[in-house]
Structure 1
Amino acid sequence: MKKIAFVCLGNICRSPMAEFVMKSLTDKYEIQSRATSSWEHGNPIHKGTQGIFRSHGVPYDTSKTSQQISKNDFEYFDYIIGMDESNLADLYQMCPQDQQDKIQAFASESVPDPWYTGDFEETYDRVLTGCQAWLSRLENESENGKYKETL
């Protein structure tokens, strides 16, 4: 089973949104989320993200709290997916050299942080689209685990 970690700055808005949206779309993968920083460590999912979950009927774990990505996480997960360019830069800096091929961008455009924008609905729309694209990508992997292009 592929293991996926979505990562944002604080792990209270975007990455838990991606985690639980993806879990609502599939149960074929182990899906978690992490932070690049320790700023929100132990804090619950942001109330704006929880509101999005309720308004869109996305089930989520109310006991989920922020957790910073660790060296063990870089070894454990098959995909470590950064929500924006800054998260990707931080991940590359934190990640052991031999694990850096696991780091991927969530989408071609960064997902705006609703902590700053206040627009949780826009973030949800982008997260839903991105999770659907990731699900398609994962389902199109070949037997050897490499991504194959679909024509």
Structure 2
Amino acid sequence: MKSIFLSLGALSALIGVGMGAFGAHGLKTIISPEMLTVYQTGVTYQMYHALGLIGVALIHRQAPDSKLLHWAGWLMFAGILLFSGSLYALALLNHTWLGMITPFGGVCFLAAWLLIALFATPNIRSSDHNSRYK
């Protein structure tokens, strides 16, 4: 069974490596050190959550009917787009209003990890297969 989360995780990691290289080599002399730090934060969180998506894909193979894992994967991907994407745009465009989007991505990350923790809790996981979590 192929997994959309494995694909999204691998593509997110690929893009994260590219964005990191671009930031390290192409942006040093173009943006301020503060904005470079903002940009690097986006890269760091993108890479962590790309690996998280790959983890969700691997775990999801063991429980393909889990809605908790399904939603965790989509929330993690949304978090990458909103959190890292807004930080990249903020650093490159220097529009401070873009920083208002970042917390929504952070909430997506937190919710994704919470769903994974709930899945890992045996009593909740068993109800995941038999109840309203589907």
Looking at secondary structure, tell me which structure has more helix per residue: 2
Q: Tell me if TM exceeds 0.5.
A: no
Alignment TM-score, normalising by the size of structure 1:
0.33
Structure with the greater alpha carbon radius of gyration: 2
Alignment TM-score, normalising by the size of structure 2:
0.35
